[in-house]
Structure 1
Amino acid sequence: MATADLLTIIIEVILWRLSYYYFYGTFLDMTQMCIVIHVAGRAATDCSVWFTVFFTFDRFVAICCQKMKAKYCTGKAAAVVLTTTGILLCCKNIPLYFIYEAGKVINNVAWDCFRKPSAYTDPGWVGYDWLATVLTPLLPFVLIMLLNTLTVRHILVASRVRKGLRIQSNGDKRSDPEMESRRRSAILLFTISGSFIVLWSLLVADFIYYTFSGADPRNYTVSEYIFQHVGDILMAVSCCTNTFIYGVTQSKFREQLMNAARYPLTSIIQMIHNRNN
């Protein structure tokens, strides 16, 4: 999930946004490279979203389905699921390569890339656009909400049972560290769902707007253009937040991060020590 998020930032933000606005005229703005960047960015975004879905499902199984945990929550199962999903999502975005055309031609060199006008009117492309929007982000949002709701309900039921047993056994009404941990988990899960829908809402609203109004995004007014690009920015932000929310809050993640930060220093010290010996 973190890798897909990082790829999204590299492709969407660095190779496309920053390059286009601050370093325009490089080979990245040639039509063929522009199209490749768009397609790769879309595939990375899809992987980021769906890897988050599978990560949420993994947490659901680990917390709520103890019988499935030993079978599903393994490195081998995760590798198979993520590899298969990544290949399918890349194949799903191949048609996008044919939806773009050159923006201008200078000295027989094609520059920039824009969606063809037929992409907004042709039934085939409109249907593909609907399918792509349902797959990312509408269906993932429904799945994340459903899984998180079931997980939180399980946490709440287990907490009530645990609290009742503690009171019956020894009358202990003090705060329970285990219940506090579960309460924080519930807050974390709702934070994931809330941030996902908020950060993707403008992009979905823009899709619904130009689909039903018949507006051409290539001829947007200033306000419509701003609305569209704010949605793009929030989408890119969404691909960053889940890594921090899911990862940085986990003690094992922080431990591995500190080990990675210390590794160069410890390697140098070890090398110096070996030479002295």
Structure 2
Amino acid sequence: MLAAHLAVVGLGLIGGSVARALRAAGVVGRISGYDPDPRQREDALAAGVIDTAHSSAAACVREADLVIVAVPVLRTVEALSAIRDALRPGTIVTDVGSTKQSVATDVEQVFGELPPWFVLGHPIAGTEKSGVSNSLADLFRKHRVILTPHRCQDAVALSTVRRLWEACGARVVEMAPAQHDLIFAATSHLPHVLAYSFVDMIGKLDDSAGIFPNAGGGFRDFTRIASSSPQMWHDIVRANAAAVSDLLTRQIADLQALQDMITSGRWDEMKATFERARAAREHYLTQIE
């Protein structure tokens, strides 16, 4: 058993799904939970996602030997400050934040260092839905989880968190925090910015009322992630602003180049761009595990 008492701070889609997955795997005992939203606490308790609900984060983690902090990245300092004095010696703490350099900085701010028992993590799974009522026991199955060990990392803590995610059916890989943030700025954070921006642009057109009802599958596929939580993605982009901004600058330049091809009738160049992009996607799809 990984933990006799698991505490989950943040009972949203990810926090709820981790609790469900670990319970289903039989690797944890009692599960306590906290969320600042009473409705999430009530729903988690009623659905059997947790065994006990607490009205404070400190009470939730007080007797735990493994803590998962599953809060929006901009709430990390608040959450860690709330649990800091309630953690007992030997407790392992991990997070699920979509940015890792910002979380590492927040951990240092709260604890004065990067504690050996804190493991920085990020599950690469989710849906456009939110809340514990949408949590799934198999959300992480066959998905990657990134762990970013730091300079003070305790090997036992790292191994425990690795086994936690493997019990959820995930494939665990390790990389440096900076590498993580660059990769996910390109593959997740910027795509969300583009999807939100595109739908916002269409919504402001004079004939938008006629566009949306006639949209086909391509529109739905491209814009699906624009149904994700605006607050969550605001927080993620803000926490990884430098990497996202750099890539957005590059994207704007490439879009301007495409516009120039269209206005000047350089159709062969445009086709070559499309062909290059298609070939790159087909090539890299074979590398996704």
Q: TM-score, normalised by structure 2?
A: 0.28
If each structure's helix is expressed as a fraction of its own residues, which one has the higher value? 1
Higher RCO structure, 1 or 2 (CA under 8 Å, sep 6+): 1
The structure with more radius of gyration: 1
If each structure's strand is expressed as a fraction of its own residues, which one has the higher value? 2
Q: TM-score, normalised by structure 1?
A: 0.29
